[in-house]
Amino acid sequence: MDEQQKYARLFNDIDSQAMITLGVVLLSTIVLIIVSQRGLNWLATRLHGQVRFRIFALVPLTRLLILITALAIIVPIIIEPSLRNMVTLLGALGLAIGFAMKDYVSSLIAGVVSAIELPYRPGDWVNIEGTYGEVKHVGLRTVDIQTPDDDLVAVPHLKLWDHAVYNANNGGTSLQCVASFYLHPEHEAGWVRKALRDVALTSAYLKFDKPIIVVAEEKPWGTHYRIRAYPVDPRQQFLFITDLTVRGKTVLSAAGVQSAMLPPDAALDARNAAESSY
């Protein structure tokens, strides 16, 4: 009987007024989250430049603030917020989490960490465990990444704990792109370097306040050139790389520079190298 009374004291008496208050708070929280998330996303997708990324960064933070406020209102209505009650409640919660919902809650906690540390935010181009794409939404449990193939991949936040997150633009508008050229060893390297630099300088997508670097690397099968440059907007990266590649090939073939004929294993190496340079 004593035990029963002890547990009864943990929770407040939930009368009809408390039920209504809880309902109103829950409903308001849901509505506020939906409105703020959609509103901020809607606004950010219509903006450009740095402002776009600043507004995107507000999306998970706003949701976190709304949730904390809602919890601060709801908890005192349900339980008597004394030290003993809190310890009991947290202990019970910890037990449940430890046994049944470890990964789920770990993702939720990582989601809170991601809203504060900002390893990724909507609009960033990230690579998590081989999934590369634009962050479209940072949810409570997962981050939604849209790949260049238009697949939407939901990656749990808990990857934050033990996996590297490669962020290509880190909340900014500068994202380095790499266009590769594999050339036959017989060519005038100085001329090729200048020509590839001109290819970048004459691209309509080029961001001028960032450097253009042409890297040449000698290989057993020929020379591997890379143009490293930045597009005006990260979303233009594939158009930019395509533009550099198409015009670069035109210039080189017009000058009689031949492509390298790669043996199959070298071709595989080159492909891996190009992919890892993203």
Partner 1 sequence: MGEHSSSADTPLWAVVELDQFRTPEQTQASQWRRSLRSASTWLVGKNSAEQQVKEEHELRALPEVKLAHLVPPIDWAPAARALAQQLKGQQAPVTFFITPPHSGHVSVVSQWAEQHHFACLPPPTLSELAEGDTQWVERCANQREWAVPALERYFLRHTQGIQGVREFLERALSGRLGQGVIGCDSWAYAYLQEVVGIEGAPVFTLQAMEGEQLSQYFAKIATHEGQSPLVYSTRTGKPVLTESATQHGDKAPNKELQRLAAHCRGHIGLAWHYWRERLREPTADDEEALWLVDALAEAELSTDTGDIATLVLHALLVHGGLDDHSLGQVLPFSHHEALNARLALQRKGIVSSSEGRWQITPLSYASVRQLLESRNYLVDPL
For partner 1, which residue of 114, 169, 203, 223 counts as binding (CB under 8 A)?
Answer: 203
Question: Which of these ranges, 41-49, 57-65, 133-141, 184-192, lies near partner 1 under the rule CB under 8 A?
Answer: 41-49
For partner 1, which residue of 142, 243, 257, 260 counts as binding (CB under 8 A)?
Answer: 243
Rounded to the nearest 5°, which phi and psi values hold at 195? Answer: -65, -40
**Do the beta carbons of residue 41 and residue 55 sit within 8 Å?**
no
CA distance 278 to 260: 22
Residue 104 or 238 having the CB closest to partner 1: 238
* Spatial strand order in the sheet of 152-156: 152-156, 142-146, 131-138, 125-128, 165-167
Can you tell me which residue has the tokens 């208050």? Answer: 21
Based on the shown chain and the rule CB under 8 A, indicate whether residue 223 belongs to the binding site for partner 1: no
Based on the shown chain and the rule CB under 8 A, indicate whether residue 198 belongs to the binding site for partner 1: yes
For partner 1, which residue of 4, 46, 83, 256 counts as binding (CB under 8 A)?
Answer: 46
Residue 114 or 236 having the CB closest to partner 1: 236
In whole angstroms, how close is the CB of 264 to partner 1 at the nearest point? 32
Based on the shown chain and the rule CB under 8 A, indicate whether residue 187 belongs to the binding site for partner 1: no
Per-residue binder mask for partner 1 (CB under 8 A), 132-171, x = binder: ----------------------------------------
Residue 120 or 205 having the CB closest to partner 1: 205
Q: What is the DSSP string of 241-261?
A: HHHHHHHHHHHHHHTTPPBP-
CA distance 54 to 210: 21
Query: Residue 154 contacts by C-beta under 8 Å, 6 or more apart in sequence?
Result: 139, 142, 143, 144, 145
Site of interaction with partner 1 (CB under 8 A): 46-49, 173, 195, 198-199, 201-205, 207-209, 232-233, 236, 239, 242-243, 247, 251
